[in-house]
Amino acid sequence: MAGTFVTFEGGEGTGKSTQLKLLAATLAGRGIPCIQTREPGGTPEAEALRTLLVNGDPGRWTAEAEALLNYAARSSHLEKIIRPALSIGKFVLCDRFSDSTRAYQGYAGGCDMKLLDALEAAIVGSTRPALTLILDIDPVKGLERAKARADGSEDRYERKGLEFHQRLRAGFLKIAEAEPKRCRVIDASGSVDDTNASIRAAVEPMLHG
Ligand code: TMP
């Protein structure tokens, strides 16, 4: 794999998407070619699955169905966007990836982790991120932020209740603890600039080979 795969993870209202754009601008400023993409999504087929996942009644899918739909989207995304970009040496910045399935469907939703292990082995294989930035915030604050900027769409997970979001945060922290080399927990409770500074510090070592 010639390129560098970096993923952004975290609960709702962490400012992940803003931070991804800021990092992309930093890389562009240094002449490093990168693509910005997201999950579920990134291809027209996966975006169609996203619409099914992020809208409607919070209980419309079981956690297992959500895992399968996310992995269907991920399979398309990996084959058509992520692997081709990495193979020509690009930096790939991805807003969410398989850790979101572990945290949302597994730790928070109760999906059997063995199913998620099997899906990850079959679909992701060796295309694992070199670095995963886990943006961390108290879910009370995160949900407030998410609500403040909401336009009433794509809020199915925001409506799942505080306990779900507390399990979610604990799940992301467990993932970080289990893989400290790959994952960096970034405090996302401060300003956009503070969070950006922490992210730049975490990414910097990767820019020098
Ligand atoms: P976003 O709002 O960060 O773009 O993400 C869309 C929603 O999808 C978010 O609420 C988290 C959720 N999600 C999962 O539940 N499982 C997954 O595997 C992914 C990628 C996202």
pLDDT of residue 1: 54
CA distances from 139 to 60, 91, 102, 162 (A): 23, 30, 17, 7
Q: Ligand 1 pocket test: pick from 14, 21, 53 the residue with the most ligand atoms within 8 Å of its Cβ.
A: 53
What pLDDT is recorded for position 171?
98
Q: Is the CB of 43 under 6 A from ligand 1?
A: no
Query: Separation of 30 CA from ligand 1 center, angstroms?
Result: 30
> pLDDT tens for residues 72-107?
999 999 999 999 999 999 999 999 999 999 999 999
The pLDDT assigned to 151 comes to 78
φ, ψ at 194 (rounded to 5°): -60, -45
* Percent of the chain clearing pLDDT 90 (strictly above): 90
pLDDT band at 209 (very low <50, low <70, confident <90, very high): low
Q: What's the topology of domain 4-208? A: Rossmann fold (3.40.50)
Nearest protein CA to atom 18 of ligand 1, as residue: 101
Contacts of 129 (CB under 8 A, 6+ apart): 5, 6, 7, 94, 97, 182
Lowest pLDDT segment from 5-14, 117-126, 155-164: 155-164
Please name the residue whose Cα sits nearest to atom 15 of ligand 1: 104
pLDDT tens digit sequence for 24-48: 999 999 999 899 999 999 999 999 9
164 lines ligand 1 (CB under 6 A): no
Q: Whose CA is nearest to atom 10 of ligand 1?
A: 157
Tell me if 54 CB under 6 Å of ligand 1: yes
What's the whole-number average pLDDT of the chain?
A: 95
How much distance in Å is there from the Cα of 161 to the middle of ligand 1? 15
Would you state the structure tokens that stand for residue 27, as one six-digit string? 């890389």
- pLDDT recorded at residue 20: 98
Would you say the C-alpha torsion 133, 138, 141, 147 has a positive or negative sign? positive
**pTM score:** 0.97
61, 100, 105, 120, best to mutate for ligand 1 pocket (most atoms within 8 Å of CB): 100
- Domain borders along the chain are 4-208
Q: How far is the CA of 100 from the centre of ligand 1 (A)?
A: 6
Q: What is the mean pLDDT of residues 143-156?
A: 84
Give, in degrees to the nearest 5, the angle at Cα 193 between 192 and 199. 90
